[in-house]
Amino acid sequence: MVTTNSIKFGTDGWRGVIAADFTFERLTLVAPLAAQVLANFYGNTTPNRTVIVGYDRRFLSEDFARAVADAVINTGFDVLLSEGYAPTPAFSWAAKQHHALGALVITASHNPGKYSGLKVKGAFGGSVPPAVTQQIEALLKEGVTIKATPGTLQTFDPWQGYCQELRTKVEIDKIRSALQDGTVTVFADVMHGAAAGGLARLLEAPIQELNCDRDPLFGGGAPEPLPKYLAATLEQIKTYHQKHPEQLVVGLVFDGDSDRIAAIDSQGNFLSSQILIPILIEHLVSRRGSKGEFIKTISGSDLMPKVAALYGLPVFETPIGYKYIADRMLETQVLLGGEESGGIGYGNHIPERDALLSALYLLEAIVQSNTDLSDLYKDLQKRTGYISEYDRIDLPLAGMEVRDRLLTQLKTNPPSEIAGRKVADRLSIDGYKFRLDDGSWLLIRFSGTEPVLRLYSEAANLERVHEILSWAKDWANRA
């Protein structure tokens, strides 16, 4: 008998270790129920019973996807099965484009290679709300089985419609010309993931793609756009620019399923979304004439709202997790919404993180301004009068009892002073964010599933950031 008790959906799907938690048997139990719940929620707004099924480049992904397709067909749904791997946002777009009930995507995003997962996307083209995944879990618990006349299977190329849509968002010819005449050189580190070949398809121009082979072990690391996984790429871009100083050089880094992005400037410096989001706000408003609300998570840099203020944009702050941004995007006109971990989405697209669209906007900003990304960022710092540094660490704890003890202390006896400065303000919409009287801040959050403390800080300089994070580590270790 297959046990389903440990199948739990997080903020963006169900993930598990392949062959231990994530198996064909368990997946084929979950998938038809997920399709049924999509029909329950979106059946009244779509003209058919079609479900998109897609996958990334992980171990056995295409086999898992075919098993999902067969299981869903056998319970009375029609399936559009991807002909190959593609970014998760491509399948989210396909759900909307084809007026489907939604999409079931085999991916574990940025997790290490031993993981696989299932993301559930709604008919509107984004991650489903918690009510959907809760109903899936409830049906699993009840042991519900679905019997129906089998549906049909068709295959499709998800890249075609997706690329066609993304090209309409930017001045693609100007970007292509800058690449073809050598004004701009682009490196794309796809981290062995589903963005492989994506920029080349979109731009139809020469780029230098790195780590584009299929490697289910991801070089022994994880397909996450963080400096610790990018040492060779950072050095390669720096060396190239030293040999070609007349060119604007940019590196674009994509996670395993291409919904998160980071960048690298001409000097080989890593640029997180804390830096990229202010640049994107400025570009979309000043060069593209776009408008709308800017959405940030609680861990986003203070520079973001300051840049938004330059252009009179309203700002909305959410807990960490893109689902909160997506929910807001469905309610009002949004310019963009972004999170510190690299997920950025746009109000003129779908309520979904999309790294390739972000890459196009960043390239357009470079081409139109003829300026390196870091110089664009420095200009925004100068114009707002706000210069800062940011860092975060994940601190393993001895056990969940330590986590609970720290959480109780924050609730009942929060610190009034941190790293030698008084706490001026405290926010608790997600964890505990302490703003200090020197303008710096510390965010303390806990993992919901493991004994890990997540610590975030922004301050005037990196020395002060590390001083605050060191204080937080000492505070946690004293508990």
Give me the residue label for tokens 């996807």.
65
Give the pLDDT mean for 53-65.
98
Q: What domains, with CATH codes, occur in the chain?
A: 14-158 (3.40.120.10), 169-384 (3.40.120.10), 389-477 (3.30.310.50)
Give the pLDDT band of residue 2 (cuts 50, 70, 90): low
- Determine which helix (DSSP H) or strand (DSSP E) holds 364, and give its type and residue range: helix 355-369
Candidate from 79-88, 232-241, 388-397 with smallest mean pLDDT: 388-397
Q: Which two tokens stand for residue 268?
A: 């080989």
Burial of 118 by CB count in 10 Å (0-12 exposed, 13-18 middle, 19+ buried)?
buried
Q: Which two tokens stand for residue 38?
A: 């999509």
Share of the chain above pLDDT 70, in %: 98
The number of angstroms, rounded, from the C-alpha of 99 to the middle of its chain's C-alpha atoms is: 24
The number of angstroms, rounded, from the C-alpha of 210 to the middle of its chain's C-alpha atoms is: 20
Give the pLDDT band of residue 183 (cuts 50, 70, 90): very high
* Mean pLDDT of the chain, nearest integer: 95
pLDDT tens, residue by residue, 334-346: 999 999 989 999 9
Global pTM value: 0.95
pLDDT tens, residue by residue, 90-147: 999 999 999 999 999 999 999 999 999 999 999 999 999 889 999 999 999 998 888 8
Give the pLDDT band of residue 466 (cuts 50, 70, 90): very high
* Among 81, 57, 83, CA closest to 69: 81
Give the pLDDT mean for 162-189.
97
pLDDT tens, residue by residue, 75-103: 999 999 999 999 999 999 999 999 999 99
Burial of 129 by CB count in 10 Å (0-12 exposed, 13-18 middle, 19+ buried)?
middle
Half-sphere exposure of 17 (CA within 13 A, CB side): 1
Give the pLDDT band of residue 5 (cuts 50, 70, 90): low
Give the pLDDT band of residue 448 (cuts 50, 70, 90): low
